[in-house]
Structure 1
């Protein structure tokens, strides 16, 4: 009787623990899904405000949406939540599809998109912008936008302290915190700002092509980080959201500078923040 009671008690405890875990995961999934829905809703609302000509409202809602999505991912990573469920399968998929040629390409691209390389490229472009346009404002806004995104990325890395993927799958050793991806944050912030500035005053087709190019290169860098086994999927997604938030605010500042410099730009024959190389 005593043995049967112990077994029954043990089984009951196991069932209770399993049910509690399931409900906890479901609750986490519901909260994270709701958070993402709110983030998407804010970005959509920002898009609607932009279409209606309300640039200030568009900036506020879009930036809040990107920031909210970033916070949701950070909380999910900190609590090993539902949104991290795809990290391991995606990492394994990249490991399963490795090849010598792809490895070399990934290493080259990830090296080109490193924080130091991004900073150097940004400084060079800023100098060229000032030399060609004789204006410091746009170049400064670009540098501040990229720099602030990178600094915030570093702060969040230290605050969250997420471990990198196992060293057994890393093709290049990385031991600092993993979330979010600094490579993706810096690359996305710089390329998106350049696309917006280079597309100023040009046709919709040209602006779209420039943005598509920036997004494509950013996606390629993100894939290389996962291919090399040094970042999780949520790391690169968070880096993209962080960059998008910074660029949304930076583009608004550029727009205000453009409005204040119409006369000067017309005199020089150069759009207020177009890059002319």
Structure 2
């Protein structure tokens, strides 16, 4: 009897919390906090405080994912555009885009992402004779994927209606595993490949990685298997993991006090594109 009463009380409390969180004011406030944390991280990065920048940046992205998760779980204000965006993609389908989307989403699947990550890790070890960068790459993608799987189980969001799905998927929808995996892998590859490159080249590589991740996100919505908030959360989750992965890469060659006051030893001194 006591256990049953406790469970009922917890359920009632959770329901009340989710109901309150569904309001626009609460969700906007949550996003403002998340943006503020990320902005603080960027400011600390400019001041060459790598430790502080990593902590605030990762917390900001993680908090944004939490805000979206609560909004999705409570059918909150932030989910308001999901249906309209899904319908827009359905209305703009064509035979050519159908084939292209299926090809892109297949290439960016969890198994394909894992296989590509392993291949890249092997190449990194072969070219650099170092295991550290390869292990960081694999750990970053694996951490993002595991976190994504756990969130799927916790939030337990349903997929879009099967009537709009071009590829039947019935497992939980939030967040998008395709976006989480491909974005974390592509961004880490861009960071590693950009080592020793001019700033313009590094920005170009990051831009390409982001663009490819956006393409994957669009194909998931185009195929009718994810909502807008699903792919958004996947991108934020990948950003959180990559923030930590980038810091780990930095620490491999700069085991100092967390600042960039002294030039770090070049990470990839034997790799070239």
Q: Is the 8 A contact 1:129 1:276 kept in 2?
A: no
Match of 1:56 among 42, 51, 57: 51
For each residue in 1:146-200, what CA deviation from the matched residue of structure 2 results, as whole angstroms up to 9, or x when unmatched?
0010011011101111000000000010000000000000000000001011111
**Corresponding residue of 1:17:** none
**Whole-angstrom CA distance in 2 between matches of 1:252 and 1:48:** 16
**Corresponding residue of 1:10:** none
**Whole-angstrom CA distance in 2 between matches of 1:46 and 1:100:** 44
Residue 130 in structure 1 maps to residue 108 in structure 2: no
SS at match of 1:162: coil
Residue 276 in structure 1 maps to residue 272 in structure 2: yes
Residue 211 in structure 1 maps to residue 206 in structure 2: yes
Question: How much has 1:25 moved relative to structure 2?
Answer: 8.0
**Corresponding residue of 1:166:** 161
Residue 144 in structure 1 maps to residue 119 in structure 2: no
Q: List structure 1 segments (4+ residues) > 3 angstroms apart after TM superposition.
A: 24-27, 273-277
For each residue in 1:17-59, what CA deviation from the matched residue of structure 2 results, as whole angstroms up to 9, or x when unmatched?
xxxxxxx789710000000001011111111110111111111
**Whole-angstrom CA distance in 1 between matches of 2:92 and 2:196:** 43
Query: What TM-score results when the alignment is normalised by the length of structure 2?
Result: 0.87
Cα RMSD after superposing both structures: 1.6
**Corresponding residue of 1:28:** 23
How many residue pairs end up in the alignment? 246
Task: Please list every run of 5 or more consecutive structure 2 residues that lacks an aligned counterpart in the other structure.
Answer: 1-18, 257-264
Q: What are the residue-to-residue correspondences of 1:182-193 with 2, within 5 Å? A: 182-193=177-188
Q: Is the 8 A contact 2:22 2:75 kept in 1?
A: no
SS at match of 2:81: helix
Match of 1:257 among 249, 252, 258: 252
Task: Please list every run of 5 or more consecutive structure 1 residues that lacks an aligned counterpart in the other structure.
Answer: 1-23, 262-269
Alpha carbons of structure 1 residues 172 and 27: separation in structure 2 relative to 1, 3 Å: closer
Match of 1:113 among 93, 103, 108: 108
Residue 243 in structure 1 maps to residue 241 in structure 2: no
**Corresponding residue of 2:217:** 222
Alpha carbons of structure 1 residues 255 and 107: separation in structure 2 relative to 1, 3 Å: same
**Corresponding residue of 1:97:** 92
Alpha carbons of structure 1 residues 245 and 87: separation in structure 2 relative to 1, 3 Å: same
**Whole-angstrom CA distance in 2 between matches of 1:107 and 1:260:** 44
**Corresponding residue of 2:82:** 87
Query: What TM-score results when the alignment is normalised by the length of structure 1?
Result: 0.86
Q: Is the 8 A contact 1:25 1:82 kept in 2?
A: no
Task: Determine which structure has more spread, i.e. the larger CA radius of gyration.
Answer: 1
Structure richer in helix, relative to its length? 1
For each residue in 1:88-116, what CA deviation from the matched residue of structure 2 results, as whole angstroms up to 9, or x when unmatched?
00000000000000000000000000000
